[in-house]
Structure 1
Amino acid sequence: MAQTERLERLIADQAGECCDTDVAARVAELDDLRTEAALDRGDDDVGVFGALANETRYRIVRLLAAADGELCVCEFDPLLDVSESAISHALSDLTGAGLVARRKEGKWRYYRTTDRAEALLAAVDEPEVDR
C-alpha cells in the first residue's frame, strides 16, 4: 500500500476519513481514467506534436494553411530561410505525422494541410480563456 499512501492522505483530507475500500474505489476510477485518456496512443500523438515542435515544420504547416490550397515544393524555397534539403526533410516528417498530404504531378510535388493539421492550428489559435 506504499504506492497509495499519498492517495490515502488525499482522500482523508477531502472526506474526513479513509479506509481501504475508499482507496480501492478511487484506484478503480483512476484506472478507468487511464483507459479513457487512451494513453496507448501516446507514440502517435507525440509524433504529431513532435512534428510541429520544429520551427521549419511549423512554418510549413502555417504557410500551407494560409495558402488555402496546395503549394509546390519549389514554392517553399523563397519563403523559408533553410536549404532545399531541410524543406524536403521537413515535408517528409510532416507527411509521416499525418499533418500534410502530398500528390505528384509529373516531376512536381504538391502539398496541402490535412484536417488534423487544420484542427491543431485552430486549437493553437483559439484565444486563451482559462488562465
Structure 2
Amino acid sequence: MSENASDADSSGSGPARSDACCSADHGLTEEELANDVQLLTTLGNDTRYEALRLIAGADDEICVCELEPSLGVSQGAVSQALSRLFGAGLVERRKEGRWRYYSTTPRAERVLSVLDETRAMTDD
C-alpha cells in the first residue's frame, strides 16, 4: 500500500479534502468552456490546423480547390475540415456561384499569433 493511501477518502476516488479547498473556480461559463474545448479539438487535427494556417497565410480569400493540392487530401476531406473550422468560429465563408471562399476570423488570427509567440519563447 502506498504512503498516500491513507489520504484517500472513503469512496477511494482520491485524497480527502475539506470543503474549503474544493472551491476552485476557473471563471468561465459552461458555454465559454465548451467553446474553448471545441476550438482546441478543432485545432487538434493536422488537416484542419494546416488548412487554417494556409488560409491565414493567403493574401486574399481562398477556395477549397486551392487548398486540396496543398493538403494532400480529398476535396471532401478539405470541405469537412473547413466546415469544422467554420463551426469553431475560426474561418468565415462566402459563397459565389458554386464555390465557397474562406478567410480567417479575428479570433483565428489571435489564436495563431499566440501559438507563434509561444513557439518563439524559451524556457530559461
Which of residues 43, 60, 63 in structure 1 aligns to 2:54?
Answer: 63
Cα displacement (A) at 1:107? 1.2
Instruction: Structure 2 unaligned segments of length 5 or more: list them.
Output: 1-15
CA displacement at 1:68 relative to structure 2: 3.4
Q: Could you say what the CA RMSD is over the residues aligned between the two structures, in angstroms?
A: 2.1
AA at the equivalent of 1:3: R
Change (3 A) 1:34 1:122: same
Which is richer in helix?
A: 1
Runs of 4+ in 1 over 3 A off after TM superposition: none
Q: Percent of pairs identical after alignment?
A: 49
The structure with the largest alpha-carbon Rg is: 1
Q: Does 1:102 align with 2:116?
A: no
Residue 81 of structure 2: aligned partner: 90
How many pairs were matched up? Answer: 107
Q: Which residue of 1 aligns with 2:65?
A: 74
Post-superposition CA distance 1:24-44 (Å, at most 9, x none): 4xx4xx74x6153x1522211
1:69 to partner: Cα distance? 2.3
- Matched residue, 1:3: 17
Q: In structure 2, give the amino acid aligned to 1:128.
A: M
Matches within 5 A, 1:23-34: 24=20, 27=21, 31=23, 34=25
Task: Return 5+ residue gaps in structure 1 as ranges.
Answer: 5-22
Distance in 2, Cα, partners of 1:43 & 1:119: 19
Q: How big is each residue's C-alpha offset from its partner over 1:61-120, in whole Å with a ceiling of 9 and x where there is no partner?
A: 000111032101111112111111100100000000000110101111000011111101
Q: Secondary structure at the match of 2:73?
A: coil
Q: In structure 2, how many angstroms separate the alpha carbons of the residues matched to 1:61 and 1:35?
A: 28
* Separation in structure 2 between the aligned mates of residue 101 and residue 49 of structure 1, nearest angstrom: 18
CA distance in 2, matches of 1:35, 1:125: 25
| Corresponding residue SS for 1:123 | helix
